[in-house]
């Protein structure tokens, strides 16, 4: 990600712009967020397929922290990406 811009930062809601990202990263983050029992919903949209920036909206349940859930999802994405990279490197040797 080039940069993250916070649009909405409330107790249970977080909305960010993920500058420089595409459907690939945003869709995986959304998937991991929806696997989190603390998240009510996680969605993203890109207004224009060529020049649009993804906007990710997250709503947490009860008194949970959506920033913490986003950090957990990002960590999971990083770990799985590193694991996939190792698999690819093992078959290209």
Banded model confidence at residue 50, pLDDT cuts 50, 70, 90: confident
Q: What is the mean pLDDT of residues 64-75?
A: 96
Task: Give Cβ neighbours of residue 39 (< 8 Å, ≥ 6 apart).
Answer: 33, 58, 59, 60, 61, 64, 66, 69
- Average pLDDT over the chain reads 94
What digits encode the pLDDT tens for the residues 22-33? 899 999 999 999
What does the pLDDT read at residue 38? 96
Tokens of 12: 């249970």
Q: For helices 66-91 and 23-34, what crossing angle results, to 10°?
A: 120
Q: In DSSP terms, which residues pair with 16 in a beta bridge? A: 6, 56
Unique residue bearing structure tokens 């999802």: 73
């Amino acid at each position: 990600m080039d940069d993250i811009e916070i649009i909405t930062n409330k107790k249970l809601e977080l909305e960010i712009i993920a500058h420089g990202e595409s459907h690939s990263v945003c869709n995986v983050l959304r998937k991991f967020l929806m696997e989190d029992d603390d998240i009510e919903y996680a969605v993203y949209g890109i207004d224009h397929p060529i020049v649009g920036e993804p906007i990710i909206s997250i709503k947490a349940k009860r008194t949970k922290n959506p920033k913490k859930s986003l950090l957990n999802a990002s960590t999971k994405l990083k770990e799985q990406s590193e694991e996939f990279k190792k698999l690819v490197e093992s078959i290209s040797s």
